[in-house]
Amino acid sequence: MPSNFQKVASYGTVTFLSVNLGSKPLVFISHASTDLWVAKQLEAHIRSCGADTFLDCERVEHGDDFEEKIIEAAEEATELLVLFTPTANNRKYVWMEIGMFLGARKRIVAALYGVTKEQIAEDQFTPIVLKKIDSVELNEIGSYLNQLKKRVETWKQYNE
Partner 1 sequence: MNKTEYKVFLSYSHKDQEIANSLTKAFDQYKISYQADQQLRAGENWMEEIERALQEASVFVLLLSPDFVSSDWAMFEIGHAISRHKKDKAAIIPVIIRDSIVPDVLRSYLWLDARLMKPESIAQELKKIIKVKVDSVANDSDTKRSDRSMKVFFSYSSLDTTIASSIADALRQKNLDVFPFQNDLRATHEWPFKEEKYLQTCDGILLLWSEHCDTPSWVESERTYKRQQLKTIIVVRLDDTPIPSLLKNYSVIYHSDLSVIVQEILQGFKVEDVNQ
Applying CB under 8 A, the residues found at the interface with partner 1 are 63, 65-67, 71, 74-75, 89-90, 92-93, 95-104, 127-129, 132
Residue 88 Cβ vs partner 1, minimum distance, rounded to whole Å: 11
Gap between the Cα atoms of 52 and 47, Å rounded: 6
Q: Which is nearer to partner 1, 122 or 140 (CB)?
A: 122
Residue 37 Cβ vs partner 1, minimum distance, rounded to whole Å: 24
Q: Which is nearer to partner 1, 49 or 77 (CB)?
A: 77
Question: Which residues make Cβ contacts (< 8 Å) with residue 57, sequence separation at least 6?
Answer: 33, 36
Q: Which is nearer to partner 1, 18 or 34 (CB)?
A: 34
Question: Which residues make Cβ contacts (< 8 Å) with residue 96, sequence separation at least 6?
Answer: none
